[in-house]
Amino acid sequence: MSERVHSSSVTCPVARAIDVIGDRWSLLILRDALDGVRRFGDFQRSLGVAKNILSDRLRRLVEAEVLVLAPASDGSPYQEYTLSSTGAQLFPVVTAIRQWGEKNLFDRGEPYTRLLDTRTGKPVPVMKPLASDGSVLSADNTAIRRPG
Amino acid sequence: MSERVHSSSVTCPVARAIDVIGDRWSLLILRDALDGVRRFGDFQRSLGVAKNILSDRLRRLVEAEVLVLAPASDGSPYQEYTLSSTGAQLFPVVTAIRQWGEKNLFDRGEPYTRLLDTRTGKPVPVMKPLASDGSVLSADNTAIRRPG
DNA sequence: GCGACCGGGTTTTAAAATGCAACCTTGCAA
DNA sequence: TTGCAAGGTTGCATTTTAAAACCCGGTCGC
């Protein structure tokens, strides 16, 4: 298990994250992976992406240790792409994107796919960044501090 | 003020959102915009992106009503790109990406830029999707439901 | 045992996006 | 009026993406 060396001198976590997951197909792959998709063919059918592009993005995500390539769990002789623990931690990212889309990109009455809590059947409440005292944070009351 | 018509038949909010903000430069522009950057030249210096590409991305974000082009607030004869209310709602998205990067893409001891609550000076706590009863949700106990 | 088919790709070639440099324009300011 | 900076646009070479064709190792029908 080799230690990854991360993108040189970039000290912004957003920029590093975007190097790994910040393109259209990678994000859609992760959306599907978080919904339980594991097989090459299933990703391809779901996304409608060219096989060479899918192959490339899956390889990059495996190299970044966001996905892990493992023997299929169902006895078929193929392999499947599963989320690593790092990859599973992207659930809040995809959920935040989803919730922004839900609130801002659909007209009233227009249907969209919903994310439900399977234990209760209810929609997942909107995520908000909270301060340590529990109050809701907006961009206005935060700031970036550079290291050093 | 024309009503935008959204991307046809795509019913996944993640997919629609990615059409608007799901590329490298757009996400980095939004990171900077949420940190208070407003001017073309400031985005360019911060990102190191080619001017034509920056111009294109800013135009798209304005068309998508994520950014708004307004006269500069400081009396200079130029215009500035400010976040619309839709754009400001991307704060949880960029914050989730940032927090994933912080936890997964830096080696121990390696410095990175931090997001601080300006009222307390403390780092912003990690965002998590919560169920309606306040318990933490993971991808495992959620599911997508298609409309109709 | 052999031909067809399916999963999971790679290769080839054409189209589109990107990046760089040069240029243009407007508003000052010397 | 010359110069200079902000905020772009344009032209062109390079890189990335996409679509389609091809390949290759199983498995299945027979």
Residue type, B125: P
At A2 the pLDDT is: 42
Q: Please report the pLDDT score of residue B1 as a whole number.
A: 47
Beta strand extents in chain B (DSSP E only):
67-71, 79-83, 114-117, 142-145
B4 pLDDT higher than 70: no
- B130: exposed, middle or buried (C-beta count within 10 Å: 0-12, 13-18, 19+)? middle
Phi, psi of A50 (to 5 degrees): -60, 145
Q: Is A93 on the interface with B (CB under 8 A)?
A: yes
Instruction: Tell me the C-alpha distance between B46 and B40, whole Å.
Output: 10
Instruction: Report pLDDT for B8.
Output: 64
Q: Is the pLDDT of residue B5 over 70?
A: no
Mean pLDDT of the region B45-68: 96
**B3 vs B105: which has the higher pLDDT:** B105
Averaged pLDDT, B91-107: 97
Distance of CA B55 to the CA centre of its chain: 17
- Residues in CB range of B73: below 8 A, 6 or more apart: B38, B80
**pLDDT at position B3:** 53
Name the residue type at position A15: A
Residue B137 three-state SS: coil
pLDDT of residue A148: 78
**Ranges of each domain in chain B:** 13-86
Look at residue A78 in the predicted model and tell me its pLDDT: 81
CATH of domain A13-88: 1.10.10.10
Q: What is the pLDDT of residues A37-69, one digit of tens each?
A: 999 999 999 999 999 999 999 999 999 999 998
Per-residue confidence (pLDDT) for residue A7, from 0 to 100: 56
Give residue B148's pLDDT. Answer: 77
Q: If DSSP states are collapsed to H, E and C, what string results for chain B? A: CCCCCCCCCCCCHHHHHHHHHCEHHHHHHHHHHHCCCCCHHHHHHHHCCCHHHHHHHHHHHHHCCCEEEEECCCCCCCEEEEECHHHHCCHHHHHHHHHHHHHHCCCCCCCCCEEEECCCCCECCCCCCECCCCCECCHHHEEEECCC
Report pLDDT for A76.
75
Amino acid A1: pLDDT: 45
Q: What is the mean pLDDT of residues B69-73?
A: 86
Q: Look at A18 and B6 and tell me if their CB atoms are within 8 Å.
A: no
Q: Which residue ranges in chain A fall short of pLDDT 50?
A: 1-2
CATH topology of domain B13-86: Arc Repressor Mutant, subunit A (1.10.10)
CB-based contact, A32 to chain B, within 8 Å: no
Answer for the pair B17, A97: CB distance below 8 angstroms, yes or no: yes
Per-residue pLDDT, averaged over B118-126, amounts to 96
Nucleotides of D strand lying within 7 Å of any protein CB atom: 6-11, 17-21, 26-27
Report whether pLDDT(B76) > 70: yes
Alpha carbon distance, N-terminus to C-terminus of chain B? 31
What's CA A138's distance to the chain center, in Å? Answer: 22
Closest-CA distance of chain B to residue A72, Å: 19
Q: Which A residues 24-43 have CB within 7 Å of strand C? A: 39-42
